[in-house]
Amino acid sequence: MPPSDSSASKQPVKVVLTAYASEGGWIGFPETRLRGRIFFWIVRPPGTEITITAEPAEGYYFDKWSNGWTASPLTYKLNVDMEITAEFKRNLNSLNL
């Protein structure tokens, strides 16, 4: 008989957000000093509400997060391990054509 304390039924104690910025900008986690980064990861208890930001460089604009969300700053509850990338695009008006 399997043990009643199966690891499959346990809730995670901590979850990890791994965040990246594509070329053309930076990401931030305003709750800390993590600002103007191209990469960071944070560890929090499940259900923690977090806010992350996407900051475009000159000549770029923030397009969306890799999961399709478009808000920046973005606030949501971190319930499971997650990897996300801020996607930036070049502002065509800034090109000298």
CATH value at residue 53: 2.60.40
Q: How many domains does the chain have?
A: 1
Please give the pLDDT value at position 36.
80
Task: Print pLDDT tens along the chain (97 aa).
Answer: 455 555 556 777 999 999 999 999 999 998 777 778 789 999 999 999 999 999 999 999 999 999 999 999 999 999 999 999 999 999 987 666 5
Q: For residue 54, is it within any domain?
A: yes
**Of 23, 51, 46, 49, whose CA–CA distance to 35 is shortest?**
51
pLDDT at 31: 77
Query: What's 58's DSSP letter?
Result: T
Q: Are 76 and 68 in contact (CB under 8 A)?
A: no
Entry pTM: 0.80
Is 1 part of any domain? no
Residue 12's pLDDT is what?
75
- Which residue pairs from 8-13 have beta carbons closer than 8 angstroms and sit at least 24 positions apart in sequence? 11/46, 12/46, 12/80, 12/81, 13/45
Sign of CA dihedral 55, 76, 65, 84: positive
Query: Residue 97 domain-assigned?
Result: no
